[in-house]
Chains A and B, each alone.
Chain A
Amino acid sequence: MITREEIIRLTNEALKAEFELTDEQLVPTAHLQQDVGLDSLDAVDMVVVLEQKFGMTLRQGYDIRSIVTLNDLYDFIEKLAREAGK
């Protein structure tokens, strides 16, 4: 079973590579739009890179728009990973 630490590491790794972010920006309380600087169109790309990173679909059955902070994003992926038995 994938651990939360592993989820955080992989998520940050993917976000840093795609969006050229720094470690300082990727604190769990960071607001994805205001602090990290991702807009709605970036969010679409974020979902694609995370799906690729974790090998699971993030788009079906859940409202991704409810994700506001990085912590929300980690929670969301953790929940999906548990459901998928990863």
Chain B
Amino acid sequence: MSADDVTGTFVAEGLTKTYGDLVALAPLDLTIGVGERVMLMGHNGSGKTTLLRMASGLLDPSEGSVTISGAPAGSLDARAAMSFIADAPVFYDDLSVLEHLEYVARMHDNTDWQDGAEWLLDRLGLGHRADDPPTRFSRGLKQKAAIAIALIRPFEILLVDEPFVGLDVAGRTALLELLDDVSEGGATIVVATHQAEFAERAGRCLALRDGELVYDGPADSTEAESLMRQ
């Protein structure tokens, strides 16, 4: 498929991941359009993280392909277009939160990062810890720092893996508001979560079970709600 044929921001074609005999993700065909808010559900080991990590370029597909904004996942253009908040955030040992933000912003050619950083840190309640290394933070604070780092840079699609884990109520609310803001800005959002609050905001729900896509439809349908409860 050429870039011209792409109609969605996120296009997977026969995307498969296997580890020996274990099928982590069965062949998946999926198109996510520009500006969609997608909720990705599934029990542990269903393939949610595998899908997101392949889209981000952190995992190599065993078969098939995935494109981000028309570019193969992991390519330079795809990396520029995609921002990923992983379930396990990682940081440099010797950089503060603010230094992380500056570095990542500049790697993505965002030079007017200071005001954005200050605003993000305030929204996430991290303003007073801006000069501390995030490696020393608690799980929740690390998650907040990872969110700030993912949002400080420009992107077209935001991939988020279990972002609410470890966040307090204020953090969850702030994140939901930030996701609203991002969506209003026109970006595509794919969030792997079971959080009912996000389901209310999501327009589309995808459910995976044992590596296979078992539901693709509205997030507010009875079937989606039933899957969410499982």
Physical interaction between A and B: no
